[in-house]
Amino acid sequence: MQVNPIITTDSSLKLVEEERSNGRIGNFLGGLNATLRKLVFRVIASRPIPEHIAFILDGNRRFARKWNLTEGTGHKTGFLALMSVLKYCYEIGVKYVTIYAFSLDNFNRRPDEVQYVMDLMQDKIEGFLKEVSIINQYGVRVLFIGDLDRLYEPVRIAAEKAMEATAKNSTTYLLVCVAYTSSHEIPRAIHEACEEKSGAMANSIRVMNGNGFFNGNGYTNVNHGSQAVIKVVDLDKHMYMGVAPDPDILVRSSGETRLSNFLLWQTTNCLLYSPKALWPEMGFWQVVWGILEFQNNYNYLEKKKKQA
């Protein structure tokens, strides 16, 4: 059967023209969105900008159920949302962004789900390492926060490589909390502060167990005629999150207000912002409204910090 070459050529040209047209429209809309972002950020920048925003990535599994997708697809879509949110934060001038990627408690989930998340993390970190030269141009330093020894070995190795590859950067920071909970972080900080302060007496110091007392400045232990004082600043220094200032905003997607054992020590004077969007639905306007909420409460938050 002979094919009419004129019809075939016309059809091909039509397809090419449609692709070009779609590309032009996409480029136009992309340019329009970038221009809109710049205008909005310029307005926002006239008021205080948060230095540090922390995110609890909540709602990946619910998003998957909502759209009849597999759980894995929900996590992958959530990763794409994370990339967009990070871009918006850095464009507006937020220096530190912290994400709650994986809790110590998450290890209690189904083994297949834990394995999937670990594989996804490894894949994304290794993909990041392939683009590390571009990342370094923007000066992004990546830090993984938590009990990294609990991670599956391939993930831990990839995380260590990412931290080493970006160690000299200081323009912006991405802190990824994995194998982390505050209930693990705080006792660990107390233990390390005691060891540092007491030296050889570390084994005999007891904090908050009846042998010591809190005097307003720190925990005091008297032992064998000697005195060791563990101050709040000592604990701050030994927190996993001691590498960054306390968050100005803690964002939890999906409308939830639970902190889920995340940054309990660091969020005393922090704005809690809970947009209704599930994490994969988070985007530009959720970031904007969170910053506006912070700006509207800025004077109150600063007052509370000074009283602390």
Which one from 58, 234, 246, 248 is the annotated catalytic residue? 58
Q: What are the start-end ranges of the E strands in 181-225?
A: 212-214, 218-223
Alpha-carbon Rg for the chain, nearest whole angstrom, is 24
d(CA 66, CA 115): 23
Burial (CB count within 10 angstroms: exposed 0-12, middle 13-18, buried 19+), residue 43: exposed
CB 89 within 8 A of CB 37: no
How far apart CA 308 and CA 234 sit, in angstroms, is 16
Among 198, 178, 139, 140, which residue's Cα sits nearest to residue 262?
Answer: 178
58 is catalytic: yes
Q: 168: which residues sit within 8 A by CB, 6+ positions away?
A: 136, 141
Under 8 Å between Cβ of 193 and 234: yes
Other CB atoms within a 10 A radius of the CB of residue 255 amount to: 12
Rounded CA separation 97/86 (Å):
7
Torsion of CA 88, 97, 82, 297, to 10 degrees: -60
- Give how far the C-alpha of residue 305 lies from the chain's centroid of Cα atoms, to the nearest Å: 23
Angle between helix axes 298-307 and 284-296 (nearest 10 degrees) is 60
Structure token pair of residue 225: 């005629």
The answer to whether the CB of 254 falls within 8 A of the CB of 279 is: yes
Instruction: Round to whole Å and give the CA distance between 263 and 183.
Output: 9
Q: Any idea which residues carry the catalytic annotation?
A: 58
